[in-house]
Structure 1
Amino acid sequence: MDVAIIGGSVAGLQAALTLGRACRRVVLFDDGRARNRMASHVHNFLGVEDLAPGELLAAGRKQLAAYGVEVRDVRVEDVIADDDGYVVDGERVRAVVLATGLRDELPDVPGLAERWGQDVVACPHCHGWEVRDHPLVQLGWRGAPDRSVARALLLSRWSDQVILCTDGDELTDAQELRLAAAGVKFRTERVTEVGVGVEVRLVGGEVLGARRVFVVVRQRQQSDLAERLGCQLADGAIVADGGGRTTVPGVYAVGTAAAPALLAVAAAGHAATTAVAVHNDLLELDLGGGW
């Protein structure tokens, strides 16, 4: 095999498609734990209208069959490096593409996890249009008021009925002025629960109603493979150049694993660009060059 791709969400599938169409022998490994699997729909993706994540990924897999890409439904626990390349799940390959993505860590508030991807979401660019002009709550991350305020200000472009809940953080005068300028109200009480009907309960019993709750999340690598391979990480992301090349020769990173802020459509584009770089680098090896 030429390339092993680890991760079968949007970025991994796009990398496999581009490399398959380049006549490369590709094997893709997927453990079925796509980051957006809990979401009801994929929005803001050109040419794709409101598909569920599983439907989008199934369509991608179907495309791969025409190009001889092998798909294995397994979780890769280790990648072994040797003088000839890498061994992944018993398969020897010359290059590895990490499309392992991120996982979202939610604020420690009861009720969020049960409603994640439905009534509780993170990205206004992905989910804001569907609830535009409705009452919305932006739940901050306790201990990070700057991030919380920034997200509320962003969300205010979709609705003039936004309330920021800081979950116990006090705000500075400057932060309050910025929120007021954007028409965002705020509450600094601790949040005790997000309940049925998208009810945000505050300490003391008051309930805030909302059409949807947007949350500030913390993002972490879904897999430790990059770290174990010796790839450099910075701020939780795999360090890679414009061609997806990591600091380890023959190892590439695509999608949110390398660029956490990417939307789904951008993750696909990033993966296609990286796949072209992988193909060109392998061509150099074919012609006697090196990494």
Structure 2
Amino acid sequence: MTERLEDAYDVVVVGGGAAGLNGAMMLARSRRSVVVLDAGSPRNAPAGHVHGLLARDGTPPAELLEHGRAEVRRYGGQVVAATVTEAARDAGGFTVGLAGGGTVRARRLLVTTGLTDELPDVPGLRERWGRDVLHCPYCHGWEVRDQAVGVLASGPMSVHQALLFRQLSDDVVVFAHTAPPVAGEQAEQLAARGVRVVDGEVAGLEIAGDRLAGVRLADGTVVARDALVVAPRMTARAGFLAGLGLRPVEHPSGAGEHVPADAAGRTDVPGVWVAGNVTDLSAQVGAAAAAGATAGAQINADLVAEEARDAVAASRAPFSAASEARAAEAVMSDSRHGF
């Protein structure tokens, strides 16, 4: 279905995942003109199913988004396939530039573009990503319970990941790879939980049929594994906001970059809100959708307050004009009488 873009909206939502669609639905239900501009590259596209989402657990990601788009449209919102390349402030709010030319104006922006997972440079990881190369125990852990799980030491969260997956399987090993040696309290924790550390750089994956069979080290050793856990570096998809002076910064966890915001999704740039993984690196689908709903409600409240101020100013304008006319008449009267 192709939808025609209007020239201007109350709110432009950039990003058509769970956060963006839920935010748009809240706004559309508040009778706001809203459009979702979706580039069509959801982060969870490689995953077979969404998990941890009440009443929708096990739903394929594409199916979930299809339902979400239908719900937004049911209330008069639009969902349009488009890639946003830039955003600038104008007198009425914002002008959003689109790939291939064209612009659309908005009084407010809700940015829900998510993030990009930057994987370690190990052959085979990207091809298996979301299948048996995983990162989230809450998204995929149940599916690999009691299996042989490896954890690639690739970032500050690797030991934490190993301990989380140890809750799901008795057979967990950490591959040291090129990371600094695990030491101190972390090494003690792994040892106490029976998690073995395998030294040596990881050179690639061993595949049997259409499944992971093991992890191959640089010296040729193969350690049999059914799943490999990797902590990617997560970076916000927010380059188009640079023209507004809004840029991603390092997340406190050290796991990547995000766009900071308050609890309601309000950024440091007036009129711009964010929700989902673009600001919260650890948000699952349910949390992202909830954040989108919160941001949508806050944006509507912000617009309501602005409209109330404008209405009061407009209602006062005739009285102000009448007062100025009376004052001018009095001055002229005084001058006629020689005062």
Taking structure 1 as the reference length, the TM-score comes to 0.94
Contact 1:98 1:226 in 2 (8 A): no
How much identity, in percent, do the aligned residues show? 37
State the match for 2:189 in structure 1.
Answer: 178
Note if 1:26 corresponds to 2:34.
yes
Q: Which runs of 5+ in 1 are unaligned?
A: none
Tell me, in whole angstroms, the C-alpha distance in 2 between the residues paired with 1:224 and 1:47: 35
234-243 or 92-101, which moves further after superposition? 234-243
Contact 1:148 1:166 in 2 (8 A): no
State the match for 2:279 in structure 1.
Answer: 258
State the match for 1:149 in structure 2.
Answer: 159
Aligned-pair distance for 1:123? 0.5
Aligned-pair distance for 1:253? 0.5
Structure 1 residues 80 and 174, CA gap change in structure 2 (3 angstroms): closer
RMSD (Å) for aligned C-alpha atoms = 1.4
Note if 1:113 corresponds to 2:126.
yes
Q: Which runs of 5+ in 2 are unaligned?
A: 1-8, 98-102, 251-256, 311-339
Structure 1 residues 228 and 80, CA gap change in structure 2 (3 angstroms): closer
What secondary structure sits across from 1:77 in the alignment? Answer: strand
Contact 2:11 2:107 in 1 (8 A): yes
Q: How many residues align?
A: 286
Tell me, in whole angstroms, the C-alpha distance in 2 between the residues paired with 1:157 and 1:211: 16
16-25 or 171-180, which moves further after superposition? 171-180
State the match for 1:272 in structure 2.
Answer: 293
Tell me, in whole angstroms, the C-alpha distance in 2 between the residues paired with 1:239 and 1:232: 9
State the match for 2:258 in structure 1.
Answer: 237
Q: What are the superposed Cα offsets for residues 78-107 of structure 1, whole Å, 9 maximum, x if unpaired? A: 112112101224222100000011000011
Residue type matched to 1:8 in 2?
Answer: G
Note if 1:213 corresponds to 2:213.
no
Aligned-pair distance for 1:65? 1.4
Contact 2:86 2:241 in 1 (8 A): no
Taking structure 2 as the reference length, the TM-score comes to 0.81
What secondary structure sits across from 1:266 in the alignment? Answer: helix
Tell me, in whole angstroms, the C-alpha distance in 2 between the residues paired with 1:243 and 1:119: 35
State the match for 1:8 in structure 2.
Answer: 16
Tell me, in whole angstroms, the C-alpha distance in 2 between the residues paired with 1:275 and 1:123: 27
State the match for 2:336 in structure 1.
Answer: none
Tell me, in whole angstroms, the C-alpha distance in 2 between the residues paired with 1:102 and 1:96: 18
Tell me, in whole angstroms, the C-alpha distance in 1 between the residues paired with 2:273 and 2:220: 50
Residue type matched to 2:295 in 1?
Answer: T
Give 1 or 2 for the bigger CA radius of gyration: 2
Residue type matched to 2:273 in 1?
Answer: Y
Tell me, in whole angstroms, the C-alpha distance in 1 between the residues paired with 2:28 and 2:96: 18
Contact 1:45 1:265 in 2 (8 A): yes
